[in-house]
Amino acid sequence: MGNEATCNLTIGKQKSKGTAMLETSELIFRPADGSPRMKIAFSSMKSVQAIDGQLRVESADAMMAFNLGAVAEKWRDKILHPKSRAEKLGIKPGTSVSLVGEFDGAFLTELRAATKEITTVKIATSSDLIFLGANLDKDLPSAIGKAAKAMKGAAALWIVYPKGKDEITENDVLTAGRKAGLKDVKVVAFSPTHTALKFVIPVAGR
């Protein structure tokens, strides 16, 4: 996905090798020697620069240099100009969206600001994106099956489910989506409490 890289990290006179991961709102470094991983929230960064293949991040505690090579500038831009949630979900002006289930007010506000083509409760036949709010495992296969049958062509289904709940897990969502004949292609941190998994119709089946 372009958001994970093996690199060297320099902090002062200390150097370590490991894996850097660029997440939605933080930069993570996992040392190869098994030491505790480091998390740097975007909000805590005082400055971010890309110089000669190094991503240089200054926080209140230290100056960190990640030797990322060619992707340093791309990571800098993603940190300084993060995409909105609507952009990450593929919602653009004119995108036809169908909502099934319950969604928080903040998302609904963002959605209405991004597109006017919104259908609730049922799925519109012209839907480009379908958002399914999933909460209980027992309801999942049936709900996904109905959504899959309504999908046409390149339409996508986003299944939004709670994090860290026994009632429904990532594996439950993946299994139900695949049994419905869909292919999982992307995951997005929907909110602090929910994750979104994107499914599409396999190209051969369109």
Determine which helix (DSSP H) or strand (DSSP E) holds 17, and give its type and residue range.
Answer: strand 14-22
Q: What share of the chain is helix, strand, coil (3-state, %, to 5)?
A: 25, 35, 35
**What's the Rg (C-alpha) of the chain?**
20
pLDDT number for residue 129: 98
pLDDT, one tens digit for every residue, the chain (206 residues): 458 999 999 999 999 999 999 987 889 999 999 999 999 999 999 999 999 999 999 998 899 999 999 999 999 999 999 888 999 999 999 999 999 999 999 999 999 999 999 999 889 999 999 999 987 656 888 999 999 999 999 999 999 999 888 888 999 999 999 999 999 999 988 988 999 999 999 998 88
Q: Is CATH 3.40.1450.10 correct for 86-205?
A: no
pLDDT number for residue 165: 86
Sign, CA dihedral 59-27-92-86, equals negative
Model's pTM, two decimal places? 0.72
Check if the beta carbon of residue 59 is closer than 8 Å to that of residue 45: yes
Chain-centre distance for alpha carbon 117: 23
| Biggest alpha carbon–alpha carbon distance for the chain | 60
Closest CA to 128 of 115, 109, 140: 115
Name the CATH topology of 4-82: PH-domain like (2.30.29)
Q: Where are the domains of the chain?
A: 4-82, 86-205
Q: What tokens appear for 46 in the block? A: 């005082």
pLDDT number for residue 1: 43
pLDDT number for residue 157: 98
Beta strands in 68-162 (DSSP E): 97-100, 118-120, 129-133, 156-162
Q: What tokens appear for 161 in the block? A: 């489910």
Pairing relationship of beta strands 118-120 and 97-100 according to DSSP bridges = parallel
